[in-house]
Chain A
Amino acid sequence: MPDAPPDPVQLAGLRRGLMIGSGLVMFAFLTCHLTNLALGLHSVALMDSWRWALSGLWTGPVMRVVLGTALVLHFSMALVTIYCRNTLRLPSYDMAQLVAGVLIVPLLAPHVFGIMAYHPLGLVPTYDLVLRYFWTLSPFDGLRQVVMLVVAWLHGTIGVYTWLRSRDGSARSLRVFYPFVVIVPVLALLGYVEAGRQIIPVAEGGGGYVMAQDPNAAGIQVAPQEAAQIVAQAKRNGILTGEVALVLVALAFAARALRIAAQKQGQVQVTYLGRRKASFAAQSGLTLLEMARLNDVPHANVCRGRGRCGTCRVRVLQGAQQLPPPDAREQKVLDHWNAAPNERLACQLLPDHGFLEVERVVQPDYSDLDYSAARTKSTLPQGNTP
């Protein structure tokens, strides 16, 4: 990317690797956590009896650090990604991912700090206790929790989905992944609602679920004043973290705006040959794929411009001399597809002026996408999986 200092290519590669890695870690945690919630469909007791495995492991000393690191890394990488965005007119999935990602930290922070406050209070965050808090004591927090669940799941699945489908031969894994994406949050929400049904009547004075051996039976272990202080501190921290995150995101957007403003403006005349001919003029500073998208020119792109899938390849027929040569990552993808020397990835091409005449290698309806052309390492059956 333009102004990352010493070796931009390697840095960008590293950034993507970190992004995917940290994202996957958090997605795994989220899945476990939601699975735990889904157990509420059976009973709150079941939720609590599995809590040690599905949630407790992640809050252990090691995993807590891993998770926190992943969160911080992912967030900072996301800031860089925002900074590097050429345009904000994103495809719907990217837009949803961006909005959900911005919302996650402000929504999540109160929950995290809230749970962390249980320990100093001498309480164990059992589902019985937490759900009672969410359903009866502070239903607004409960609602925020539900919104957070949906938003986080949306963000996570879009990321994993994009990562999955830009891999070769992902047909089979996606076939499993699609139902998984829908079933997990639905079951989690239903579990949450069902657990609420078991808990609410107790709080309202009726009969219902009462924990057999409640570790919190003794109540808060510290003096009431101190407890109030702890709770207030947790609340403050939560809100503060959310605000800091929002400010950082805003700063990233502002920096991006400055970067775009500093760019020199040029006009590029692009012509697509072959089937579905098109011709348009576009502002420079965008990748060829983004130009095509803004001008409603259909273009194959499985990974939506992340330079991973190689389906947006184009043959550059004219104007190749003014283009920078492919960097190492692009070259890797091109080599993977055994691409001809004049083929480039449209999502990595940044034409800045003059004329460009290109031809699509893969049709936008993927009718001629052939995975056997790639040097695939996958042993999965190959097929069209856009």
Chain B
Amino acid sequence: MSGLPVVLRVLLFGVAISLGLLAPPALAQMLPATQGDAQTPAAPAQASPNDIRELMRLLADPQIQDWLQEAANPAEGAAAQAARTSLRQKIEARLAAFGDRVQALGLAWQIVPRIPEVLASQWERQLSHAQKVRSLTYILTFLVIGFGLEWLYRRYMNLVLLRIELAPKEAPLQKLAGAVSRAAIISGGLLVFAIGSIGAFEMFDWHPLVQSVVLDFLTLVLVVRVALTLSLFFQAPFAPELRLVPYGTPVAKHLHRLLWVLSVTVGLAVVLSLVLARMSAFQDDAADLQAVVLAQSVALAGLVLLAAWGCIWVGFRRVPRLTAAACDPAVTRFWRNYAIVWVGAVFGCWLVGAFALMWSVVIVGFVVPALKLLAAWIDHFFDQSTAALYEEHKTEAAAELAAFEAAEAARQAEAPEAAAGAEDATETTDPAPPVAPPDMPEFHDPYISTRPIVKRAARFVLLIAAVFALASAWGINIFALSQDRSVAGRALEVLVDSFVALLFADLVWTWAKTLIDKRIADYEPPVDGQAPGPEARMITLLPLLRTILLVTLLTMVSLSVLTALGVNIAPILAGAGILGIAIGFGTQSLVRDIVAGIFFLIDDAFRLGEYIEVGDLVGTVESISIRSMRIRHHRGKVHTVPYGELKSLTNHSRDWVIMKLEFRVPFDTDLMLVKKLIKKVGAELKANEHYGPSILSTLKSQGVRRMEEFNMVVGVKFMTKPGEQWLVRRDAYQKVRDIFEANGIRMAERNVKVEIAGGEHLDPEAQKAVAGAAQDAIEKPSAPPKPVPDEP
């Protein structure tokens, strides 16, 4: 209240000084006027040269100049003055306030026994007997209206509410939906009550004192009912299906009752302590009432303290007995004592008048167990969800198994009949081989990555709310902090800013880390000899991403902390930018490699362990780094290829490989027999236990592919998974050769028939010589192109 006049006075003073610079006589006139204590001196009629000289001398004085400057800037001067109030003075003020409070408390203590008397006399003074009773009639009337309307509403909603409460709920989300709709219905009733009673309240003409008191009580009723509705929402003591907390009906009922007692006590105490205050507003001798008001509120606060302690004591005693779950007595004792000390500390702070400190104790003391409870509650929620999904999964599996068993039984029953009906058939009549039961996929918890994020987010919200509550308790507007230049304000601002930045970063980091770690953990490295799955690509990218994210977050947090501290980060940013450009130019190819690598990875062009061909190089991808990859040739050579160098890339390890083989057989071969034999070999290959499953399409004859001078070329082909073709080819060659030999099919050999016209008379020597001479003729045609020896 006194702040404004002081500022005004200083302002006027400043204006006067500045005016005085121009018109010195005015100075003398206005100064006393503003200060209002000295008598007005007679203004000199004219400034003498002596005075002017004196003024000039004064103006030249640096001390005077400083003073003038300060005075010319009055607001700043006042602020500086305020800031200069020493710590000692502040402490003194605090101690003085504390002393006053103690004195007031002492006085109040003496008054306590007389409170009812004073209250009664005050009431008598304010209201006549008839007025009081009439007011009670009014109160009863509007309460009847409020409760009557609510009852009507509840009657019409009753069946809906009952169905919601009793419908069985499996998943917690269903529970939550049910609890929310139930809370909505109950709140609707509350709203009807509020509208009905407040509307009726407005109808009557109240004595102003009674009006304010009754309004207080009405607010109390509404607040208590809202608190109880919240308790109903979470604990649902009368609707176990909707309970969101992990304990049974007895505990829920007990806690609900305790909450009822506690909220009614606290609310009543607050309202009752307000009654006297309201009265003193209608009183002339309000100052005399102050001590009584204090005494009354101390007595009420004492009662509240006792009630709170009682509730804590009873709650911690009863709840472990009511639950089936075992409670560690030491833990229970610890939290009980904690709660008792906490409530006691709050009361103590209130008693000595340290209200900001009291709110801090309330908030901090609340946040600690609230964080634990919140985490436990979210865990419970997710546990329930997972359990529900697991149940669903199990029922599905059971249903599928039952269906399979039924089908199996039907098949078994059919088989003998079929056998009896097809006695003379050439097919084998042995019962169909047993089919393996269907493979149920393993159960995966879908919330495994959501859970920590939700927990962090909830913690985040709670902490932020606590910070804001603390700030408002200390009367600090967080958004206006930047205007506050005091040390404490600055420190708090830095703390709040850093804390919020850290919390945000923590939230983002937890989210990203959980996702990335989960994907990495889910990755199953390929079994030897198998091509790696599509996840292999992500596994190379994810750790990189994680590191980048961590570095980015750390940088951002430290930058925001620096900003909060008041460090100018623009040069840092600019420096980083310039450095970035410089490095960018210098490492153009490096950047190109990295970027190209990321795109190759995104394109899924190759994966770890794949057999690829890059330009002239072939080999298995052995490692993938940020900049380059390493390819091992099947003969052991290791090639390092930067991604930037890759123009095109051939991958031999994708999906399937077709291999074509050729056999040369003489012209007189029975092709039908060949076809049959190849088919048989194909069946044998397919039946192989090692590589059989890898054969996608087994060996089959493609008939005569072409005719050559001395033989026919029979083509065969098969299709396998990549990497398996070599083994299959080896066996195919061997088996085909063996089976041809066994069936009298020769492989065509090169044989030259040298026919010498009329050469019957030649002796063997000469025949040999002639045949030798024909050698050249045979050699001439070059051999057909051989298949590339490409086995790794």
Contact = CB atoms under 8 A, between A and B. Distances in A.
Interface of A: 135-136, 139-140, 142-143, 146-147, 150, 178-179, 181-182, 185-186, 189-190, 192-193, 196, 200, 275-276, 296, 298, 363-367, 384, 386
Given A178-B152, A298-B166, A366-B159, A189 B144 contact: yes
Most interface-central of A181, A185, A189, A367 (chain B CB within 10 A): A189
Given A182-B152, A186-B145, A189-B140, A386 B162 contact: yes
B240 A146 contact: no
B144 A147 contact: no
Given A147-B140, A182-B149, 4 more contacts: A139-B137, A181-B148, A190-B141, A193-B138
B240 A135 contact: no
Contacts of B249: 296
A193 B149 contact: no
A150 B140 contact: yes
Contacts of B93: none
A276 B156 CA distance: 26
A185 B151 CA distance: 13
Contacts of A193: 137-138, 141, 204
Contacts of A367: 163
Contacts of B137: 139, 142-143, 146, 192-193, 196
B129 A365 contact: no
Contacts of A275: 168
Contacts, number: 75
Contacts of A365: 162-163, 165-167
Contact of B168 (A182, A189, A276): A276
B129 A139 contact: yes
Nearest to B149: A182
A34 B141 CA distance: 14
Nearest to A189: B141
Contact of B152 (A135, A179, A363): A179
Contacts of B94: none
Nearest to B138: A193
Most interface-central of A136, A150, A179, A193 (chain B CB within 10 A): A193
Contacts of B283: none
Contacts of A147: 140
A139 B134 contact: yes
B440 interface: no
Given A146-B137, A365-B166, A185 B156 contact: no
Main secondary structure of the interface of B (DSSP, over half): helix
Contacts of B152: 178-179, 181-182
Nearest to A174: B155
B711 to A, nearest CB: 83
18 contacts: A139-B132, A139-B137, A143-B133, A143-B136, A146-B140, A178-B155, A178-B156, A179-B152, A181-B152, A186-B141, A189-B140, A189-B141, A189-B145, A193-B137, A193-B204, A363-B166, A364-B166, A386-B162
Contacts of B148: 181-182, 185-186
Contacts of A143: 133, 136-137, 140
Interface of B: 129-130, 132-134, 136-138, 140-141, 144-145, 148-149, 151-152, 155-156, 158-159, 162-163, 165-168, 204, 240, 249
Nearest to A385: B159
Contacts of A296: 240, 249
B141 A146 contact: yes
Contacts of B156: 178
B162 A185 contact: no
Nearest to A296: B249
B133 A139 contact: yes
Most interface-central of A181, A192, A365, A386 (chain B CB within 10 A): A365
Contacts of B240: 296
A141 to B, nearest CB: 9
A366 B159 CA distance: 8
Contacts of A135: 130, 134
Contacts of B158: 386
Contacts of B204: 193
B133 A366 contact: no
A136 B130 contact: yes
A189 B166 CA distance: 38
Nearest to B140: A146
A363 B166 CA distance: 9
Contacts of A178: 152, 155-156
Instruction: Sort A-B residue pairs by CB-CB distance and give the 3 closest, nearest first.
Output: A139-B133, A182-B148, A365-B166
A145 to B, nearest CB: 9
Contact of A142 (B133, B162, B163): B133
A328 B530 CA distance: 82
A146 B144 CA distance: 11
A11 B666 CA distance: 118
Nearest to A384: B159
A166 to B, nearest CB: 15
A136 B165 CA distance: 50
A67 B138 CA distance: 30
A298 B238 CA distance: 10
A196 B141 contact: no
Contact of B144 (A186, A298, A363): A186
Nearest to A275: B168
Contacts of A190: 141
A140 B129 CA distance: 9
A140 B134 contact: no
A23 B613 CA distance: 100
A186 B162 CA distance: 28
A296 B165 CA distance: 13
Nearest to B129: A139
Contact of B151 (A142, A182, A192, A384): A182
Contacts of B134: 135, 139, 142, 196, 200
A182 B204 CA distance: 19
Contacts of A181: 148, 151-152
B249 to A, nearest CB: 5
Most interface-central of B137, B138, B140, B151 (chain A CB within 10 A): B137
A336 B398 CA distance: 44
B297 to A, nearest CB: 29
A380 to B, nearest CB: 18
Contacts of A142: 133-134, 137
Contacts of A384: 159
Contacts of A185: 144, 148
B144 A366 contact: no
Nearest to A193: B141
Nearest to B130: A139
A221 B152 CA distance: 48
Contacts of A276: 166, 168
Contacts of B168: 275-276
Nearest to B238: A296
